[in-house]
Structure formats: structure tokens, C-alpha cells
A = this chain, B = another copy of it.
Amino acid sequence: MTAREVFRAVSGGLPDPGDRPAGPAKKSKALGELPELGAELDELQERLFAESDRRVLLVLQGMDTSGKGGTVRHVLGMVNPQGVRYQAFKKPTAAERRHHFLWRVRKALPDPGQIGVFDRSHYEDVLVPRVLGQLAGPELKQRYREINAFERELADTGTTLVKVFLHISPEEQLRRLRARLLDPAKRWKYTPADLEARERWHDYQRAYRGVLRQTSTAAAPWYVVPADRKWYRNWAVATLLLETLRELAPAYPDPGYDVAAQLAELEAAKAVP
């Protein structure tokens, strides 16, 4: 079975955040595999960039400390920065709130040939307001429909979505929040709002299950990655991207010129006038 099959969100349930349902069971093995995964990712991304036609969009969602930032550093860090378009989505600004919720998302899409990375995304707009009791019923359903239509449109125009829910346990979050508070170099990553979100843990899990149920479509499926182990999460996301790129099978394009003729011209023009 492929990682995409194993991690694909199945209606109605979430795996254990400590599970390792596919791939290496041991950290040393996963770390040993990563350089090779990275080299292949880099090579395939280079071909995608050379084609300059199709796009990949990695959507990273998860509770605070679930490892969105770590995934970007360790997985996307293996690819040429030229081929990566990273965008974080924070709490919408006043200006952003005056627009449709997909407005800022459309502006941040990757260029042809790039892997776009959304660190949070339009899914925040069906998670946060729902948990805060500001969005429910027909309005919530309407946003799900708009998201599905938007992603269908992306898929139809050459963007392959890889939507990943980094699934951690509340116990692991506790350890990571504590570590952030104890390390002066990590305190900037913590805000008191993290604790407010943590207090609504079960509401968020319910909201995430709703998202997985309503927006995991054939055009843009969700993958649920058990993320209590950082090394497993990195291996899993790298492998999901890799399988996606292998299927796209980008190839160096036909140069569109006569190679021999250009070589001859180049040699003839050797001496710069």
C-alpha cells in the first residue's frame, strides 16, 4: 500500500497520534531514509520547475505545536528554495476580513512549477469560527461547499493538493508547550491564546473531524499523519509529497530549439565582439 492510501482520511475516525501505520517503525531507520527521499523530491521538483506548468500545494493544518513549522524546515528544506512558495496564514487582518475568506488564499497560490506550502490555510475559516460558536448550520455548510468548489477548480487547472492534518495528542502538546515556555529561544512561538485553544481541545477535534468528513474529496483528499513523533511526521509528509510528484512524473521539456544548431552558433560566436 502507498503512504497516500494508508494516511488518507477515512470518514468517521482519527488514528492514534502515536501510530506508525506505514513506513519505518524506528527513528534511526526513518532518519536514514530521509536524505534519499530528499534527493528524489529535489530532482522531481526541479523537473516540475523546468516544465513550469503544473503546481503542487501542500496544506498543513494541526493544533498548535503539531509541527507545521518543523515540517517546513525539515521536509521543504530538502528542496531548492526557488521551487517553494511558503505562506503562513495568521488571524485575518481587518483588511482581509473585508474580503471573502478565500481572497487572501488565492493571492498566495504557488507559481507554475512550484510547491506551495500553506502553514494553516482557508481551513482556519471553518475551524476557529465554528469552535468559537460564530459559524454553524447552513453557513458552515456553505463554506465547506465553497472550499470544495475552490479546490476542484485548483485541481482542474493543474494544481495537485496535498492536504495534511498533523494529528498530535493533548499529552504531547503539553510537553511541547512546556518546552516552548522553558526555552528563551522558543518563547516567541507561544502566546497565551495557545492555552485558550487547548482548553477547547475536544471542540477543535470535532471541528477537524467535520473538515475531514466534508472536504476530503476525490479532487483534494485529506491525509491524517500521526504527529507525536517528529521524525515520523517528517518521513510521512516527505513520502506523501514524493508519491504525489512521482505520479505527476514531471519531465524536462523538449527544449524547443535545435540543439546542434545552437551549439554551432555558440561556437561561432565564441569571441565576444
In Å, the complex CA distance between A190 and B77 comes to 27
Residue in B closest to A169 when the chains form the complex, CB atoms = B272
In angstroms, how far is the closest chain B Cβ from the Cβ of A53?
Answer: 12
1/0 per residue, CB under 8 A from B, across A239-261: the answer is 00000000000001101010100
Measured between alpha carbons, how far is A258 from B163 in the docked complex, in Å? Answer: 36
Q: How far is the CB of A47 from chain B (nearest CB, A)?
A: 8
The reply to whether A273 and B69 contact each other, CB–CB distance below 8 Å, is no
Stretch at the interface among A93-101, A134-142, A193-201, A222-230: A193-201
Q: In the assembly, what is the distance between CA of A182 and CA of B201, in Å? A: 58
Contact pick for A76, options B81, B117, B257, CB 8 Å: B81
- Asked if A185 is at the interface of the complex by the 8 Å CB criterion, the answer is yes
Residues of B within 8 A of A170 (CB): 272
Residue among A85, A185, A188, A189 with max Cβ neighbours from chain B (10 Å): A188
The 4 closest A-B pairs by CB, nearest first: A50-B188, A187-B255, A170-B272, A201-B272
